[in-house]
């Protein structure tokens, strides 16, 4: 047996830069109301959402990711070629092969980094961040680009009054790099596959060419509907608020801090009601800034946490060096929470 030389990584990791991209088109609730019987007041009271961004055909998953990544890389102060791995979390890139991460890596000028996509729904950013930290500490990459990107408008049933208003498009990216002191805490993550029906795509893609339309959803005109994301609202709400508050607390405990030590709370921007109830359940102190980007960005799944982080920093509501609790949760069901220092 030969002796194998191990890789040598950095002692710890940190987020060095964050960037976001929101599509140019802002969609107010009035547009959503063209296809559902509801009201602006109802949508706002149930979700806190006033507007969301919808991508144009040109604002592809790749294009949005490249924009967000450029900002994150510039803020990190590194050259694109220094990136050793690109991790893209998305559920709305419809060309599954090859992974979109490779195209993004090429377009940002990163050379030949490891590049791959992950599917972890609205917990995708936390999953990607955890992988990045692992790679840096283990030594397989010095800098890792983590991207959360979605075009959920492509997976929205605009005739479903429970979800039509919920989703938005956008991309958020962070550069994770080496650090001499810990700036990313332990991740508390997991999955609950017994609740896989709670949030899901209505039908799998391969049903479309199976020749049997009996299982496919139809609209009022009898035409086959494109797959969309559907959810059991009450069950999701209960799980997100009460179970995820426990996970958030575990992440604080694992990082060795209390809610009093926090400056910022960045939960997945699922719904303002979930955010408000989580804050109440967690008994967060008044001084903690809470991300409420969902109001004008909607629910952008894997992109929501980096987008919210970028906006808090850009608007001065949070500052570099602040201690933030981030928690993502969604389809799977899956979840990931950790404490980070903001870049």
Binding site for other proteins (CB under 8 A): 45-46, 232-235, 237-238, 241-242, 273, 277
Min. distance of Cβ 108 from other proteins in angstroms?
40
- The values of phi and psi at residue 177, to 5°, are -140, -175
Q: Which of 54, 315, 328, 78 is nearest to 190 (CA)?
A: 328
Q: Which residues contact 125 (CB under 8 A, 6 or more apart)?
A: 89, 146, 148, 172, 302, 303, 304, 305, 306, 326, 328, 336
Decide: 318 and 312 in contact? Cβ < 8 Å: yes
Q: Are 269 and 329 in contact (CB under 8 A)?
A: no
CB of 242 to other proteins, least distance (A): 6
How far lies 224's CA from each of 115, 209, 210, 212, 248, in Å?
A: 35, 12, 13, 11, 41
> Which residue in 53, 93, 183, 268 is the catalytic one?
268
Closest CA to 168 of 66, 64, 86: 64
The answer to whether 132 and 177 have CB atoms below 8 angstroms apart is no
122 is catalytic: yes
Minimum Å gap between C-beta 102 and other proteins is: 41
HSE, side-chain direction, 13 A CA sphere, residue 176: 33
User: Is 268 in the active site?
Assistant: yes
Name the residue nearer to other proteins (CB basis): 31 or 235.
235
Name the active-site residue from 53, 122, 183, 271. Answer: 122
Of 46 and 107, the one with the shorter C-beta distance to other proteins is 46
Strand ranges (E), 22-99: 25-28, 51-54, 83-89
Between 243 and 322, CB nearer to other proteins:
243
141: number of Cβ within 10 Å: 26
Nearer to other proteins, 94 or 242 (CB): 242
Buried/exposed code over 174-203 (b: 16+ C-beta within 10 A; e: otherwise): bbbbbbeebbbbbbbbeeeeebeebbbebb
Q: How far is the CB of 166 from other proteins (least distance, A)?
A: 13
Of the pair 158, 162, the CB lying nearest other proteins is at 162
Query: CB-wise, 187 or 271, nearer to other proteins?
Result: 271
Nearest approach in angstroms of CB 240 to other proteins is 10
How large is the angle between the packed helices 272-282 and 40-47, nearest 10 degrees?
Answer: 30
CB of 42 to other proteins, least distance (A): 9
Active site residues: 122, 268, 299
């Amino acid at each position: 047996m030969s002796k194998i030389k191990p890789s040598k990584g950095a002692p710890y990791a940190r987020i060095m830069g964050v960037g976001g991209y929101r599509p140019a088109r802002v969609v107010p609730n009035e547009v959503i109301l063209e296809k559902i019987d509801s009201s602006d007041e109802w949508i706002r009271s149930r979700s806190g959402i006033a507007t969301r961004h919808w991508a144009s055909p040109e604002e592809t998953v790749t294009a949005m990711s490249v924009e967000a990544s450029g900002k994150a890389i510039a803020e990190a102060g590194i050259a694109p070629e220094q990136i050793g791995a690109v991790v893209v979390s998305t559920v709305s890139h419809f060309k599954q092969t090859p992974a979109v991460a490779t195209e993004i890596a090429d377009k940002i000028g990163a050379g030949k980094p490891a590049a791959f996509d992950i599917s972890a729904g609205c917990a995708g950013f936390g999953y990607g961040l955890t992988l990045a930290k692992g790679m840096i500490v283990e030594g397989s990459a010095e800098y890792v680009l983590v991207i959360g990107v979605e075009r959920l408008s492509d997976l929205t049933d605009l005739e479903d009054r429970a979800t039509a208003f919920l989703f938005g498009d956008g991309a958020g990216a962070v550069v994770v790099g080496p650090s001499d002191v810990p700036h990313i805490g332990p991740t508390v993550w997991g999955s609950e596959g017994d609740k896989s029906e709670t949030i899901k795509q209505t039908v799998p893609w391969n049903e479309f060419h199976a020749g049997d339309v009996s299982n496919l959803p139809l609209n009022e005109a009898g035409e086959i509907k494109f797959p969309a994301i559907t959810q059991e609202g009450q069950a999701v709400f209960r799980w997100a608020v009460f179970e995820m508050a426990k996970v958030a607390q575990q992440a604080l405990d694992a990082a060795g801090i209390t809610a009093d030590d926090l400056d910022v709370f960045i939960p997945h921007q699922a719904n303002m009601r979930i955010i408000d109830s989580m804050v109440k359940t967690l008994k967060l102190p008044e001084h903690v800034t809470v991300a409420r980007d969902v109001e004008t960005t909607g629910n952008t799944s894997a992109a929501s946490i980096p987008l919210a982080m970028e906006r808090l920093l850009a608007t001065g509501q949070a500052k570099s060096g602040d201690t933030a609790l981030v928690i993502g949760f969604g389809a799977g069901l899956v979840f990931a929470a950790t404490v980070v220092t903001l870049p």
